[in-house]
Structure 1
């Protein structure tokens, strides 16, 4: 993505303790699959995409127990680790092979993108995140999705 902003590393891990350990040592050093992006936050922007993908209202998505639950210390000032929902992981996988073109078109118009989100780039991001989700689900014990946010 070309937008400016915070850095977001979306990744999968078998469980919260493993994700938290990867947060400390580095996702790549932990050998976990990762999708780095700029400018697509896991709360408002990805939450809106989850709402579109699942047909669940945004308010109901944000009320889910694993929606952006903070795993790292709240005292950290420049890096945070949050959980993503299993519903998002599963919806990304289920949306294939039809693709994400229609979702990306609607998603690109949310206020939080400020009119600077080309739908084709959002489609590419959703496809890449779906690849990560697919890989997470193919493990004998399905992995979960996480996001490491950095200022």
Structure 2
């Protein structure tokens, strides 16, 4: 079946953690559900491409996939995404995703079977979420709820 990823925005870590416990939609937060694009390796590589930052440097950022939920949970986890990713997504609007998606689609973790057009669509939807997060009166940050 594959892992499910719910990308969403929240004003801060406590609000994201509360939404994790209660339900993102129930909390009224913007949500982008997706199957098969993990926030660590796959999205981390996209962040590297979007920002021009080496992947190892991306993974060392303080908010890169920092676990907010309990490490003891064996089927659901909540992690932070970086503000650098949020801002790079917004900066790439409009139409800046085709070149990134072409390169990104060839990473090993996609197994060679991910059409670049699908990745452009995902990045555009994530960019919409990022733009909404950044332009709110109280700017939001991005998060990912992972489920088995």
Report the Cα distance in structure 2 between the residues aligned to 1:82 and 1:76, rounded to whole angstroms: 13
Matched position secondary structure for 1:20: helix
1:128 aligns with 2:142: no
| Partner of residue 29 from structure 1, selected from 26, 30, 33 | 26
Matched position secondary structure for 1:116: coil
CA displacement at 1:98 relative to structure 2: 3.0
Report the Cα distance in structure 2 between the residues aligned to 1:49 and 1:42, rounded to whole angstroms: 10
| Partner of residue 54 from structure 1, selected from 27, 51, 69 | 51
Report the Cα distance in structure 2 between the residues aligned to 1:127 and 1:21, rounded to whole angstroms: 27
How do residues 1-150 of structure 1 correspond to structure 2 at under 5 angstroms?
5-150=2-147
Q: Report runs of 4+ in structure 1 exceeding 3 Å deviation.
A: none
Structure 1: stretches of 5+ with no match in the other structure: none
- Bigger mean CA offset, 16-25 vs 134-143: 134-143
Structure 2: stretches of 5+ with no match in the other structure: none
CA offsets, 1:48-102, max 9 Å, x none?
A: 0000000000000000000000000000000000000000000000001133000
Matched position secondary structure for 1:124: helix
Report the Cα distance in structure 1 between the residues aligned to 2:15 and 2:139, rounded to whole angstroms: 13
Instruction: State how many pairs are aligned.
Output: 148
CA displacement at 1:116 relative to structure 2: 1.2
TM-score (norm 1): 0.97
Matched position secondary structure for 2:124: helix
